[in-house]
Amino acid sequence: MSQPTLPVLYQDDHFVAVSKPAGMFVHRTEKDWRVRDVLVQLLRDQLQQPVFLIHRLDRPTSGVVLLGLSSEAAAAVSELFRERQVRKEYVALVRGHTADTGSVNRPLTSPEVVQTEPLPATTEFSTESRFEIPECSDRFPTTRCSLVRAIPRTGRFHQIRRHLNGIDHPVIGDTSHGDSRQNKFYRKTFHIRRLMLHAAELSLKHPYTSEQLCVTAPLSPDMDDALSSLMPHRL
């Protein structure tokens, strides 16, 4: 069986950015050592050279992943992440009708960090579209959802998913922090079987050229198809 080819969104002498499909691991862990399709290994084979992971996306999330073509390049951008000089923008389909704009400021814990108290976390969002489906999925006669742009100002574990769920707008398809009744409704009615979260854009100051680097990833076909099926219900 042939390996999948990752769409290259950007490449220069120092970095490469690809579009990760939903369901793919970014890197292999001890727990998941049997997994076959792993982004770092696939890209290494595809480019025929080593690649160095800079940041991660959750397995069910699709979109932009930036990697270094040397350990030095990866370290340079990792420092920008630590200094919060990298801007990330996500697209999410969420339950209910969201406000035009909003900001969630709620500290979050991380299972990957030993800490005594939650760390500060901020997510800003804006609403792009609202939908109302004339079918009951819970206790209301219609079912509402919104397409939002979310910008995490910090990088905590499952930050966007946890923040949106915390304001009663969980991401559709989220089996960890979402609404199981809504997930079942969208799976049955619109055949949505994935987390409706996509890393759409990543921008930073290129550490070698000092130019602004902005990488965008179009919606993956499965998410694009799901949103197209909702368009007749757009308000």
Predicted confidence at residue 114, as pLDDT, reads 63
The total number of structural domains in the chain stands at: 1
Q: 113 lies in a domain?
A: yes
Question: pLDDT, tens digit, for every residue of 181-198?
Answer: 999 999 999 999 999 999
pTM of the model as a whole:
0.93
How far is Cα 40 from Cα 43, in angstroms, rounded to an integer? 5
Name 162's Cβ contacts closer than 8 Å, sequence gap at least 6: 108, 156, 177
Is 15 strand, coil or helix?
A: strand
Residue 1 covered by a domain: no
Q: Is residue 3 part of a domain?
A: no
Residue 145 C-alpha from the chain's centroid: 18
* Per-residue pLDDT at 31: 57
Domain holding 94, by residue range, is 8-233
- Amino acid (one-letter) located at 174: D
Q: Which residue has the tokens 């579009």?
A: 19
Read off the CATH number of the domain in which 114 is found: 3.30.2350.10
Q: With respect to residue 104, please indicate whether it lies within any of the assigned structural domains.
A: yes
> Looking at the domain assignment, is residue 26 inside a domain?
yes
Mean pLDDT value across the chain: 92
- Measure the CA–CA gap between 91 and 63, rounded to whole angstroms: 10
Look at the block and give the residue holding tokens 């890209």: 43
pLDDT score at 111: 72
Which of these is catalytic: 37, 45, 58, 174?
58
Give the per-residue pLDDT at 37: 78
**According to the model, what pLDDT value does residue 13 have?**
96
Q: What is the pLDDT of residue 2?
A: 64
- pLDDT tens for 72-87 read 999 999 999 999 999 9
Active site residue 224: no
- Residues of the chain scoring pLDDT < 70: 1-2, 28-36, 112-116
